[in-house]
Amino acid sequence: MPVSSHYRAAPRFLELGDGFADPVQPARFPQHRLRFRNQRWAERIGLGELDEAEWERHFARFEPLPENVSEPLALRYHGHQFRNYNPNIGDGRGFLFAQLEDPVDGRLLDLATKGSGRTPWSRDGDGKLTLKGGVREVLATEMLEALGVYTSKSYSLFETGENLHRNDEPSPTRSSVLVRLGHSHVRFGTFQRYLALGDRERIERLLDYSVRHYAPEAAAEADVPAAFLRIVLERSAALCASWMVAGFVHGVLNTDNMNVNGESFDYGPWRFLPTHDPRFTAAYFDHAGLYAFGRQPQGVLWNLARLGDTLAELTDPSELERVLGAFPEHFLRHHREKLAARLGLVAPDDHVAMELQSVCRAFLEESQVGHDRFFFDWFGGAASEARAAASPEAERYGGPGFTALRRAMDACAPIDAMRLAQPYFEGAGPVTLLIDEVEPLWDAIAERDDWSLFEQKIAAIRAMGEATGLASAVRAR
């Protein structure tokens, strides 16, 4: 198999020993039709030279990669789902397929599946992923990456030729298997499982493993569990801030969907918000709006407190409480940074950054300007004045709220004025991924097997990420 010298197998999960995963067999599918191949990430990890047959062998038939995990592993975890503890979950339709070291920055990466068949944790599920679910995960990850959100990547998507039955899609519906490239699948719920089982020894093992591979800076501190919680909290605050600036609603912020590396993953009923509305909710089944746009910071903090409950087995809980108390400060600081970055601006000092944050938020809420439209129109601040004046939403750029915002933007400098010369900024408007675009894009596939809208959307999203520079910022992390 033609792996390049960039390929670095690193099957570290085995260091955890027994009790963390179950070996499983991948499903056999009647058909393998490649629908998405993430060539740029494949090249980065040394797998870009695989030909079609090899790609299919590894990412549809799941033959192990060289020197890697020898048998797929369904990972064990629990989690709070909509605040109710569920001890019956785990990898019910996925497994860890391989681990690799990122040749660029040394991160330990996982290739893991979604829709690869039943496992001991499937309960009464079929272990499969609908094609629409796969398409939606690819779109979400591409858009988030382009907007500078630290996210898992969609690595491969095969259509698999089965008919699935779901309550939330017209059924029967087409099937797929996704491979996701992520910075670990250690979830808050992985820790929670061993608290629920009263297994302190495995909490210690999991913490050692997590510190060694994902938070080595905690190792030298006097209180390692508290240092680990602090690091996870800072990363999660940064992630949540970047969702808020992206206008992204994850939809299912359960503790089993949060990773200790602050990497966003597992995309189900996600939505992007059309205009700033704190009550905007993604999941049709989230009747109480628990995970509405404006409640995401609270949701993330609540989840961090559940991770803290587990770490309290190993250290003084009052120290963990102190760590949790710092969430708002970290969230707001990251939010300021990400907001300025999405506007293509650099604030000269904290005072201006805080002012920009407060007036921008007020303006977005009051004016109900299109969320993406605003950032498109005003990228680079004053330098975009003429472009903004020609926007279909130009009439919203007036009044006292806007005057205050304009003053704050004028006090900042553009990150790189040259970016405005990119063709993207001469286009008619922002690249967006609102539900009104996702549904027709899926309908073209469902009704006519027409993948052109999907492919064009991905190309447009990538071009946007390159034009704003936000995509390269996240890739370098």
> Which of Mg ion, ligand AMP, none is residue 121 near (CB under 5 to 8 Å by kind)?
ligand AMP
For the stretch 259-284, what's the b/e string if a residue is b when 16 or more beta carbons lie within 10 angstroms of its beta carbon? bbbbbbbbbebbbbbbbbbeebbbbe
SS3 344: coil
> Which of ligand AMP, Mg ion, none is residue 11 near (CB under 5 to 8 Å by kind)?
none
Contact between 44 and ligand AMP per CB under 6 A: no
Which alpha helices (DSSP H) does 171-287 contain, by range?
Answer: 188-196, 200-214, 224-246
Cβ 60 to ligand AMP shortest distance, Å: 18
Give, in order, the Cα–Cα distances in Å from 420 to each of 39, 298, 343, 346. 28, 36, 12, 15
Cβ 185 to ligand AMP shortest distance, Å: 11
**How many residues in the shown chain lie near ligand AMP by CB under 6 A?**
15
Of 257 and 261, the one with the shorter C-beta distance to Mg ion is 257
Contact between 91 and ligand AMP per CB under 6 A: yes
Contact 328, 240 (CB under 8 A): no
Question: Using CB under 6 A, which residues numbered 299 to 338 contact ligand AMP?
Answer: none
Contact between 185 and ligand AMP per CB under 6 A: no
Contact between 23 and ligand AMP per CB under 6 A: no
Question: Residues 110, 256, 266, 377: which is the catalytic one?
Answer: 256
Annotation marks residue 256 as catalytic: yes
Contact between 225 and ligand AMP per CB under 6 A: no
Question: Using CB under 5 A, which residues numbered 250 to 309 contact Mg ion?
Answer: 257, 266
Question: Using CB under 6 A, which residues numbered 105 to 134 contact ligand AMP?
Answer: 121-122, 125-128
Question: DSSP readout, 245-269?
Answer: HHTEE-S---GGG-BTT--B---SS
> How do 271-272 and 248-249 pair as beta strands?
antiparallel
| The pair of three-digit structure tokens given for residue 52, joined into one six-digit string | 């079609």
Q: Quick one: which of 19, 64, 92, 294 contacts ligand AMP (CB under 6 A)?
A: 92
Contact between 258 and ligand AMP per CB under 6 A: no
> Cα(454)–Cα(457) distance, rounded to whole angstroms?
5
**Which helix (H) or strand (E) element contains residue 113?**
strand 108-114
> Which of Mg ion, ligand AMP, none is residue 126 near (CB under 5 to 8 Å by kind)?
ligand AMP
Question: Using CB under 5 A, which residues numbered 435 to 474 contact Mg ion?
Answer: none
What is the chain's alpha carbon radius of gyration, rounded to the nearest angstrom? 22
> Which of Mg ion, ligand AMP, none is residue 214 near (CB under 5 to 8 Å by kind)?
none
Of 111 and 341, the one with the shorter C-beta distance to Mg ion is 111
Query: Which of these, 185, 165, 183, 48, lies nearest to 114 by C-alpha position?
Result: 185
Of 101 and 266, the one with the shorter C-beta distance to Mg ion is 266
> Which of ligand AMP, Mg ion, none is residue 445 near (CB under 5 to 8 Å by kind)?
none
Cβ 92 to Mg ion shortest distance, Å: 9
Contact 182, 112 (CB under 8 A): yes
Contact between 268 and ligand AMP per CB under 6 A: yes
> Cα(23)–Cα(14) distance, rounded to whole angstroms?
11
Of 56 and 126, the one with the shorter C-beta distance to ligand AMP is 126
Contact 59, 158 (CB under 8 A): yes
Q: Which residues are catalytic?
A: 256
Residues that bind ligand AMP (CB under 6 A): 89-93, 121-122, 125-128, 252, 257, 266, 268
